[in-house]
Structure 1
């Protein structure tokens, strides 16, 4: 079996549990692989809560994300790609099984930045207000449940002429043990509105605080959401 070779490539993004690479054979797609390094397992083990650390280490973010994206694609088809990446399944890599998704790029071909990175570089989030309203309408209209809408999971695609589109690249699904919001439409919409109403003020507050400093990036997990490169 031929493996995608990623070991010699630099990931463009590194999260708490996964690394993201430009697909070596298709620059319009990315490959997400699970991290296995010690920093990852130590960080997960240190978290509290009712879920034991041994289970959290084994949790497969890729499998969960694939299920959510496939569920949405069955309902919406490719129209989901306006604000969500399409999932193309899995491929074997030299770093383990990789999840293949659309890679969000700006109008000039460079990989799009997260809201966290933009704000930390001095970007005024008010320029994204219209794009946020469009995303909100999309999530509500199609009843797409999400986890907390974090600034590092929202990518701002630059369309040119100061026009933007927000794409949610992680955090889909209802984390509730009993997902009644998925089954009962009115509860689903209520939950989506609650997430949206909290996210925008949090983004504005984050900007007012100056974003993430270089020092904080080096010493904490706040480095998540910053690109290592832009795929030029």
Structure 2
């Protein structure tokens, strides 16, 4: 069992909390925390399943997703281990929401286009949880940035069979991308 310490707490969402991995400072552990809206995180289940599908598909490019390292039992509940997204300085990357507030969406047009193309090229489905607070902006240098989805991976719809066919997957990605842009980026 992995022991997670409160001093290693990173962030918390509606159902899950992230902690710095006690044995590897380049990894994080996501756990469903006690007292959330649900005892079992359906999002965690879907996310883990989707990460396993991506591994099975042999995805090599994890540039816009944290790499997945498997499930783990912890003192705070069941969890799973992911790459901790850090800037070139070693600092944990800040949310895209932080940078949008600071600089506006126009400053990141290139990064947004590359990000969108990554999902389309790899037929990676994201859900409606893809919002600026669930995306990190990783600084590779002072002028080179990547957007990294840390929450909202996978499909929450009941009918996911079309996702296995690239044409339909890309159509779903495009529709969701348009909703993401209209909801979070149009006024920025």
Q: What TM-score, normalized by structure 2, do the two folds share? A: 0.90
Asked if structure 2 preserves the Cα contact closer than 8 Å seen for 1:78 and 1:86, the reply is no
Listed one character per residue, the Cα deviations across residues 73-130 of structure 1 (whole Å, up to 9, x for unaligned) are 2223332x1111121112221111221001110110111111122234x233322211
Unmatched 5+ residue regions in structure 1? 42-55, 208-232
Asked if structure 2 preserves the Cα contact closer than 8 Å seen for 1:6 and 1:94, the reply is yes
What value does the CA root-mean-square deviation take over the aligned residues? 1.8
Question: Any runs of at least 4 consecutive aligned residues in structure 1 with deviations exceeding 6 A, and if so which?
Answer: none
Task: Specify the SS of the correspondent of 1:189.
Answer: helix
Deviation at 1:57, TM superposition (A): 4.0
Task: Specify the SS of the correspondent of 1:146.
Answer: coil
| Of 77, 84, 96, the match for 2:65 | 84
Query: Greater CA radius of gyration, 1 or 2?
Result: 1
Aligned position for 1:164: 145
Asked if structure 1 preserves the Cα contact closer than 8 Å seen for 2:87 and 2:139, the reply is yes
Aligned position for 1:15: 13
Aligned position for 2:28: 30
**Are 2:87 and 1:106 aligned?**
yes
In structure 2, distance between residues paired with 1:59 and 1:19: 11
Q: What TM-score, normalized by structure 1, do the two folds share? A: 0.74
- Aligned residues between the structures: 187
Asked if structure 2 preserves the Cα contact closer than 8 Å seen for 1:4 and 1:91, the reply is yes
In structure 2, distance between residues paired with 1:178 and 1:60: 16
In structure 2, distance between residues paired with 1:206 and 1:153: 18
Asked if structure 2 preserves the Cα contact closer than 8 Å seen for 1:180 and 1:187, the reply is no
Report which structure shows greater RCO (CA 8 Å, sep ≥6): 1
In structure 2, distance between residues paired with 1:74 and 1:197: 28
Unmatched 5+ residue regions in structure 2? none
Listed one character per residue, the Cα deviations across residues 17-66 of structure 1 (whole Å, up to 9, x for unaligned) are 000011111011100010112xx22xxxxxxxxxxxxxx54344323211
Deviation at 1:206, TM superposition (A): 5.5
In structure 2, distance between residues paired with 1:91 and 1:59: 15
Identify if the C-alpha distance between structure 1 residues 201 and 60 changes in structure 2 by more than 3 Å, giving closer, same or farther: closer
| Greater share of helix | 1
Aligned position for 1:68: 50
Identify if the C-alpha distance between structure 1 residues 67 and 12 changes in structure 2 by more than 3 Å, giving closer, same or farther: same
In structure 2, distance between residues paired with 1:192 and 1:21: 30
